[in-house]
Structure 1
Amino acid sequence: MLVRDDVIDYFREYESLPQDILERELKVPMESEFIISIIGPRRAGKTYFLFSLSKKIENQVYLNFEDPRLAEINYRELRDVIRIYMEIYGRNPRYLLLDEIQNMENWEKAVR
């Protein structure tokens, strides 16, 4: 179940996280119009990479579905999370960075 205050708290906490991130060699073609998946074995650094990417690009939403405030969100509520982002920041995000999206039941429907 989506709790608006939890989502707002999540976005505010994200903004306060440090900007100094260790650079990785992997590059992602941000000009692509296609969905890009970052895949790899457990503990390989996918979450760190996605988080560091989120700190380098503007106009993006980084959502980590292992965060307890987002863990219970269903695929239908993902649009509501984006609406809350737009209310807070006054813009429509260009990029959606969805970390641990497999934790969301029926996540495939959310990314169509």
Structure 2
Amino acid sequence: MGEKVTKDKTKVGTASTMRNTLERLVQAGEGHDEIEKAENTVMFHVHEQYSILDCVKILKSVKEEGFLDGQQFSYALEMLKDENNIILLMSLKYSTSALVEWII
């Protein structure tokens, strides 16, 4: 009989541990969802404030002025896939030399 009591206590302890683990996983998942929502909100504001079309216009202008060759221009367009690069490009748009140095 002593064994049954031990096994029952072990089962109860295991169930409690599993429940606690599942609760922590759910909390972690909910926290991840909140972080993802916040990131999406930030990126919405980035795209609202800085459009890809504006970035391309700036890059075309810099290329037409002879500061970028075709390969550098293509590389800069690829960089626009990252939202952080969009922010950097728009921050540097009034300094052609700084913009070109950042791209090259």
From the two aligned structures, give the one with the greater helix fraction.
Answer: 2
TM-score by length of 2: 0.24
The structure with the largest strand share of the pair is 1
User: TM-score with structure 1 length normalisation?
Assistant: 0.23
- 1 or 2 for the larger relative contact order (CA 8 Å, sep ≥6)? 1
